[in-house]
Amino acid sequence: MLTISHISKTFNPGTVNEKRALTDLSLHLAPGDFVTIIGSNGAGKSTLFNAISGSFYVDSGSIVVDGKDVTFMPEYKRARHIGRLFQDPMRGSAPGMTIEENLALAAGSGGWFSHMTKADRDRFRDQLSQLDMGLEDRMKQPVGLLSGGQRQALTLLMATMDPPWLLMLDEHTAALDPATAEKVLDITRRVVEENHITTLMVTHNMQDALAMGNRTLMMDSGRIVLDVSGEERAGMTVADLLERFHRGAGRALDDDRILLSGEEG
Amino acid sequence: MDLALIQTALELGLICSLTVLALFLSYTMLNVCDLSTDGCFTLGAAVGAVVAISGHPFLAIFAAMGAGVCSGFITALLQTKMGVDSLLAGIIVNTGLYSINIAVMSGSSLLNMNKTTTVFTLMQDLLEGTPLAGQYKLVVAVIAVVLVVAFLTLFLNTRLGLAIRATGNNPDMVRSSSINPAFTTIVGLCVANAFTGLSGCLLAQSQRSADVNIGTGMVTIALASLLIGGTILGRGGILSRACGVVLGAFIFRLVYTIALRFDMPAFMLKLVSSVIVVLAIAGPYLKSRWPEIRRRLTYRSAAAKGGEGKC
């Protein structure tokens, strides 16, 4: 589904601010894989996502999504097949437009000059009601009136409406309060399962990283230092994960946010 | 106040409201302040006048709109594909258009259409003997405004229209979605400038002359009207907001006409429009800052008295 071969990316090459963000990174995802990614700040998680989504072109290596080489495909073209959610709930929807207008834009059915039909509205209402947030009764309201959690759930719906080949979740619950985050994670789990979407999810919560999906990656200094799945992963605890990180990266994990969330669990 | 003055205000307001509707699309929806509006307005007037004088009153309308599309396309191309800042792109195109406008009018800065057949004279002939005979200008203006408002309402609710609105509303979202922001900006500015061109063409034809300064200051006047309209009908659907915009254009002209009656010299129009734009934009901003300003003032006066704070 996704095959990344030996990609590297260096920012500001040849200057004092030179930063090797990705170093000879390779990754293969099978269709339907739900992969969680953890790693300290600056490990290259978001850079990896930016490389896959096309925010920049990689310096070397290739990216193939669903058999299509997208290495030099512009971002907006990839976006048709790659859904992405950010940490900031405000990023994924247009606040000045109504809920149904945002959904119509995301649905992408029909041509440029098509109008929203009654059938479209019924479908949107149906999908919104599955979020269980009462949004189906507020379809004519501007998205700017929604809470962060509601907006993130809406963005998730928009990103998966037309099931993408690949869904990338970049700490999409980190800015939400714990109860709302839990709810959005539940919705995520359901939507991904129902549509069998291949998913990459960055999280700082080690508990979630092990509990969700079927495979976990740990990143450090632009590399994947740990890749566990199957039975090995099934029996793992947060302490095991930290220990394995230590061995893989050659040092202890130094992200307070991750350690704190690890201790909670 | 006599009816003739209100009628003139209504005619001018409606014709200029087409430019305001253009800014409604580019400024309010696409969030691009298109400073080529002045030049594009004059371009529409010049092209429309030249084609009408050569004997094609209807073709003149479409030629003016086409010229507007070209102008908008260049402005959009500069800012999306060539790395020119969007304000600067408008200023550059506006400056360039000055020469083009004089070239279109064959080197003269004034074209007279006293004996030219235009859509207005055609309407005048058509309405002769009916009760509307005296309002032929108004009828043409109303038809144009209704058509443009209807088009905008339909257009902004298509998928392309939604994409244009999203481009202005949340560029971050558009960048990570399957919409190409360069494409939506180009389409939006082309359509907006078509209306600006149409507006200039109709104003010139209703005045029976096109001169190279006809569009000077138009962008500020249109912005003032747009902001007035926004305070009256700023919420709701596209249709009601578009109607609010037209109403804003009329109110602006009405206020201006009344001011003229109280012996305000005609050259004050542009200062008045500037002040309105400043008030409409700075007002809400200063209002939101007011608690902080007040706190600082009271803090300072208390400190001066030797009360709280250090000197």
* pLDDT tens profile A189-238: 999 999 999 999 999 888 888 889 999 999 988 889 889 888 888 888 88
Give me the mean pLDDT over the A157-178 stretch: 91
> Which 3-state string (H, E, C) describes chain A?
CEEEEEEEEEECCCCCCCEEEEEEEEEEECCCCEEEEEECCCCCHHHHHHHHHCCCCCCEEEEEECCEECCCCCHHHHCCCEEEECCCCCCCCCCCCEHHHHHHHHHCCCCCCCCCCHHHHHHHHHHHHCCCCCHHHCCCCEHHHCCHHHHHHHHHHHHHCCCCCEEEEECCCCCCCHHHHHHHHHHHHHHHHHHCCEEEEECCCHHHHHHCCCEEEEEECCEEEEEEEHHHHHCCCHHHHHHHHHHHHCCCCCCHHHHHHHHHC
Domain CATH for A259: 3.40.50.300
pLDDT band at A257 (very low <50, low <70, confident <90, very high): low
- Residue, of B260 and B230, whose pLDDT is higher: B230
Residues 86-105 of A with CB under 8 A from B: 86, 90-97, 101-102, 104-105
Residue among B159, B166, B178 minimizing CB distance to A114: B159
> Is the Cβ–Cβ distance between B19 and B218 less than 8 Å?
yes
Q: What is the pLDDT of residues B288-309, one digit of tens each?
A: 899 998 999 999 888 887 655 4
Q: Residue B26: its pLDDT value, please?
A: 96
Identify all chain A residues contacting B154, using CB atoms and an 8 Å cutoff.
115
pLDDT at A262 over 70: no
For residue B244, give how far its alpha carbon lies from the nearest alpha carbon of chain A (Å).
Answer: 17
Ranges A56-70, A111-125, A206-220, B62-76, most confident: B62-76
Count structural domains, chain A. Answer: 1
Asked if A49 reaches chain B (Cβ–Cβ under 8 Å), the answer is: no
Contacts of B212 (CB under 8 A, 6+ apart): B42, B46, B98, B101, B102, B105, B109, B110
How many whole angstroms from its chain centre is CA B310?
Answer: 52
The answer to whether A110 and A123 are in contact (CB under 8 A) is: no
- What pLDDT was estimated at residue B303? 83
Mean pLDDT of chain A: 88
Estimate to the nearest angstrom the gap between the alpha carbon of A15 and the chain centroid: 31
pLDDT of residue A264: 44
Distance CA B122, CA B134 (A): 13
Q: pLDDT value at position A256? A: 59
- The domain in which residue A89 lies consists of 2-94+148-264
Smallest Cα–Cα separation from B156: which of A172, A74, A112, A232?
A: A112
- Tell me whether residue A114 is in a domain: no
pTM assigned to the model: 0.87
As a whole number, mean pLDDT of residues B41-58 equals 96
Chain A hits for B159, CB-CB cut-off 8 Å, are 104-105, 108, 110-114
Residue A44 has pLDDT above 70, yes or no: yes
Partner-chain contact A53 B159, CB within 8 Å: no
Tell me which of B27, B176, B179 to substitute to probe the interface with A (most A C-beta atoms closer than 10 Å). B176
B176: chain A residues, CB-CB within 8 Å: 53, 75, 79, 84, 86, 91-92
Report the C-alpha gap between B106 and A233 in whole angstroms.
Answer: 80
Using the Cβ of B216 and the Cβ atoms of chain A, whether some distance falls under 8 Å is answered with no
Residue A110 belongs to some domain of the structure: no
Residue B75 pLDDT exceeds 70? yes
Q: Dmax over Cα atoms in chain B, in whole Å?
A: 82
The arithmetic mean of pLDDT across residues B38-57, rounded, is 96
User: What residues in B contact A110, CB-CB < 8 Å?
Assistant: 159
Minimum CA–CA partner of B173 in chain A: A92
Q: Report which secondary-structure segment, H or E, holds B304.
A: helix B269-304
Residue B231 banded pLDDT, cuts 50, 70, 90: confident
